[in-house]
Structure 1
Amino acid sequence: MQPIEAQRKIDPFIVFFVIISTQIGVGILGFQQLLAKSAGYDSWISVIIAGVATHIVMFMIYKMLNEEDAGLASIHERVFGKWLGKLFNLLFAGYFLLGLLTVTRTYIELVQVWMFPGLSVFLFTFFFFLLVFYIVSGGFRVISGLSFFSVVLPIYLLIVFLFVIPYTDFYNFFPIYEHSTKEILQASRDLTLITLGYETLLVFYPFIQNGQRSKKWAHFGLLFTTIVYLYSTILSFAYFSEEQLQETIWPTLSMLKIVQFPFIERLEYIGVVNWNIIIIPNVCIYLWCASRLFKQTVKIKQRKSAIGVLCIFLFITPQLETRIQVDKLNDYFSNVGFVINYLYIPLLFILLFIVKKVKKK
């Protein structure tokens, strides 16, 4: 595998922004509905449990990367051999492409529901993918720079949500632990969709200068997203009743409806537009990781594979027309992501260390 030039690598602290940009996407706009159905006002406990789980998996990821000092493709080859390792690389690439499709179509649905009901999905997808391809063509440094802005620019939204506090009732959370442990854990499982993305580190790790120095920044990124989701959960459950949340598809945006300024009447429109800045790095990282794995596995140039993928998805995306289809797509990605992050990665972690000990003997 050819060494990566220093000018193509990113500083370790940038990983903080990349991790956040992979985790915070369209899922934060509606995850409260799932929590309300599973654990109700005890959902804040589920958010903390889900956050701790991501730190455990991240610890395993860095342990594996430290052993190989390379990315996912090298780990697969070390554990499974050349040909079986390539098969697993392609399965991971498919997983990242599923993430790309899920995020893209869910955001388009958001735009349709809140702003333009008659929006042409094909045309929107075409221009959106043009922008995505332009960014991905610039390389991982460009994507990581965009990740920085996707975190910094919309940060004001966290302050705007404080305007709902006069209409909240924090006594809703008492008494604590009214739901069973099983229900709370189920709610944590339901949060899988919004915590996915950090596993892309397995692919872009070789593009980090002094990769092990980025470990603390990756964990800080996970901590930041956990705090953001906890913040959103507490405000949502204090503002809405449990029954309202079960019927509200986009609780986060619905809270913006009550916020008004003399110069802005519909702040939720600004929120929908700003979310484009947030999800673009998300989509770009998924596409970059998939095309990177294609390059390492079947020797296709990243630009060519990116073009091919986007052309295929340009025609697949408009076929997902109904809310039910988009929901099923999200559920499928969540289920696959759960298997990848909480079953496959721990298994790969164990297998790598077994192989290492066997080879030493």
Structure 2
Amino acid sequence: MNNRDKKYLTSSQIIGLLIGFAVGPGLLRSPNSLIKFAEQDAWISSIIGLTYPLYIIIIANYIIRKYPDDNILSLSRKCFGKTLGNILNSIYGLQWIIFIITISTDLIKISRIYFVAFLTPVKVVIVLLAISIYAAYRGLESLATLAQINLYLLVSIMIFSIAALKYGKLLNIQPIFGSGIKNIIHSSFLTCYYYLGFENLLLIHPFAKDTTNVKKSSFTALLISGLMWVWTIFVTIYYLGIDIIPKSFWSFILVFESINIPIVNNFRYIFMFVWTFAVFIVISGHSFTASLIMNDITNINRTFILMFLYFLCTLSSLWLMSLDSYKNALDAISMFFTLYNIVFISIISIIIYIKNKTFSKRKATIN
């Protein structure tokens, strides 16, 4: 894939896009998931879980250094052949379609509880996906601009959450390592779903104005998003404690009940606006990724693909609303795709390494 005439992403836009791919609705309920095993040490599990996106970024940057103008789709066909490569690319793209559906379902539930209870699920998902799909249709450059705005909003809202430290208790995070190393490690595997998204660096890097800055941008994005995730879990435990957290499915929202600003009646609504915008970015990013992959494999126009995704995800998310057990299925699916991404990207990097090493030996022999 040659994109020399399409290089327009700045370093800050790449940072915004990567954070937009990774930071979404899981932010609100991550404390609930992790404390089941790690209890007050859940924030430590979230730090350990960062090894997954760190590994992906390290491998991705190695691949980018060797093939700066090829994305993961074209490299897959080069490494595995056209047929097998497209099959593997299809599996890679499938995960983003699944996550569009599950994320939309989460947003329907929380929006009807907190700020649009008067709307039916059908109306919520129709508007939600219409806006998100349209943003994906506008293209990567427009999406990157929105992602930058999203980054500034997320950072701002995280800064405001520091106010919760005034009302929390140190005892809520003690004893450190009290839950046991085994439980902390086990809980860290549950972060897989929350940290998915950095894999798309291998899709967007050919659009970068300067590929030499991609490495710095990707690590910066990981640092910022990692701080967001760890801070979210830490401050929620510190403020609420592990006994209160399970009483709210989206416990991080309660942290913003502690913020009192004279000119704002309820800061929670400001937070919900920011969070909703972040979810729009995630869904738009996944929609763009899925349409890009499907277009690459089938050569079908992206407009038709996005229309198909709109109807598919609308119907599927409404169907998931009636299923109480889909969270357990989502955990299993997330774990599968995490392992798949690791193996898929790792094998490509190994093949590239072998090919480059073989080429170097041949060149040295000729000389």
Please confirm whether the aligned pair reaches a TM-score higher than 0.5, indicating the same fold: yes
* CA displacement at 1:4 relative to structure 2: 4.8
Change (3 A) 1:173 1:133: closer
Q: 1:344 to 1:359 in 2, by over 3 A?
A: same
Matched, 1:84 2:75: no
User: So what's the TM-score if we normalise by structure 2?
Assistant: 0.90
The 5-angstrom pairing of residues 162-311 of structure 1 reads 162-311=162-311
After TM superposition, give the deviation of residue 2 of structure 1 in Å.
Answer: 5.1
Provide the rounded CA distance (Å) in 1 between the counterparts of 2:194 and 2:300: 31
Letter in structure 2 aligned against 1:184:
I
Residue 359 and residue 100 in structure 1: after superposition, are their counterparts in 2 closer, same or farther (change >3 A)? farther
Mapped to 2, the partners of 1:174 and 1:3 lie a distance apart of 52
Separation in 2, partners of 1:173, 1:127: 40
- CA offset digits 1:293-317 (Å, max 9, x no partner): 1121111122221111112222222
Question: Residue in 2 aligned with 1:104?
Answer: 104
Asked whether 1:57 is paired with 2:56, we answer yes
Is this contact kept in 2: 1:50–1:188, CA < 8 A?
yes
Alpha carbons of 1:76 and 1:164: their partners in 2 closer, same or farther (altered >3 Å)? same
The answer to whether the 8 Å contact 2:16/2:221 transfers is: yes
Q: CA RMSD in A?
A: 2.2
Q: Which whole-Å CA distance do the structure 2 matches of 1:212 and 1:324 have between them?
A: 46
How far off its partner does 1:263 sit? 3.6
Map 1:26-65 → 2, pairs under 5 A: 26-65=25-64
Deviation of 1:72 (Å): 0.9
Could you say if the C-alpha distance between residues 273 and 325 of structure 1 is closer, same or farther in structure 2, counting changes exceeding 3 Å? farther
Please say if residues 12 and 211 of structure 1, whose CA atoms lie closer than 8 Å, have aligned partners that are also in contact: no
Partner residue in 2 for 1:155: 155
The residue matched to 1:13 in structure 2 has which SS?
helix
Structure 2 CA distance for partners of 1:210 and 1:166, relative to 1, 3 Å: closer
CA distance in 2, matches of 1:242, 1:30: 13
Matching residue's letter, 2:101: L
Q: Which is worse superposed, 283-292 or 152-161?
A: 152-161
Secondary structure in 1 matching 2:258:
coil
Amino acid at match of 1:26: P
Contact 1:204–1:289 (8 Å) recurs in 2 = no
Alpha-carbon shift at residue 292 of structure 1 (Å): 1.0
Relative to structure 1, the CA distance from residue 133 to residue 176 in structure 2 (aligned partners, 3 Å threshold; closer, same or farther) is closer
Inter-partner Cα distance in structure 2 for 1:319 and 1:238:
36
Letter aligned with residue 126 of structure 2: F
The answer on whether the counterparts of 1:68 and 1:74 sit within 8 Å (CA) in structure 2 is no
Q: CA–CA distance in 2 between the matches of 1:35 and 1:218?
A: 26
Equivalent residue, structure 2, for 1:113? 113
**Alpha-carbon offset, residue 21 of structure 1:** 1.4
Q: How far off is 1:149 after superposition? A: 0.4
SS at match of 1:233: helix
Report the CA distance between 1:148 and its aligned residue: 0.2
Assess if the C-alpha contact under 8 Å between 2:12 and 2:148 holds in 1: no
Relative to structure 1, is the Cα distance of residues 154 and 48 closer, same or farther in structure 2, using a 3 angstrom cutoff? closer
The reply on whether 1:5 has 2:43 as its aligned counterpart is no
Amino acid at match of 1:224: I
C-alpha change, 1:325 and 1:269, in structure 2 (3 Å) is farther
> Offset of 1:327 from its aligned partner?
2.1
State the match for 2:345 in structure 1.
345
For 1:243 and 1:186, the matched residues in 2 are separated by 20
Q: Provide Cα deviations, 1:274-304, integer angstroms capped at 9, x if missing partner.
A: 2121111211111111111112111112222
- Counterpart of 2:100, as a letter, is L
4+ runs deviating over 4 angstroms? 355-361
Residue matched to 1:319 = 319
Relative distance call for 1:172 and 1:131 in structure 2 (3 A) is closer
CA separation of 1:358/1:298 partners in 2, compared to 1, >3 Å: closer, same or farther?
A: farther
Change (3 A) 1:212 1:333: farther
How far apart are 1:113 and its partner, in Å? 2.3
Do structure 1's residue 23 and structure 2's residue 17 form an aligned pair?
Answer: no
C-alpha distance in 1 between matches for 2:342 and 2:183: 19
Which stretch of structure 1 is more off in the superposition, 80-89 or 233-242?
Answer: 233-242
Return the TM-score normalized by structure 1.
Answer: 0.92
User: Shift in Å at residue 254 of structure 1?
Assistant: 1.4
Confirm or deny: 8 A CA contact 2:94 2:290 kept in the other structure: yes
The answer on whether the counterparts of 1:20 and 1:225 sit within 8 Å (CA) in structure 2 is yes
C-alpha distance 356-292 of structure 1, shift in aligned 2 (>3 A): same
The residue aligned with 2:365 is: none
**Percent of paired sites with the same residue:** 18
* Aligned partners of 1:98 and 1:333 also within 8 Å: no
Paired letter, 1:66: R
Distance (whole Å) between structure 2 residues aligned to residue 359 and residue 109 of structure 1: 55
**Pair 1:175–1:133, CA change in 2 (3 A):** closer
- Structure 2 distance, partners of 1:127, 1:230, is 32
Gaps of 5+ in 1: none
**Would the aligned equivalents of 2:72 and 2:202 in 1 still touch at CA under 8 Å?**
yes
What amino acid sits opposite 1:125 in the alignment?
A: V
Number of aligned positions between the proteins = 360
CA distance, structure 2, for counterparts of residue 10 and residue 164 of structure 1: 36
| 1:42–1:14 Cα change, 3 Å | same
Which residue is equivalent to 1:143?
A: 143
- Which residue type is aligned with residue 179 of structure 2? H
Separation of aligned partners in 2, 1:326 and 1:113: 19
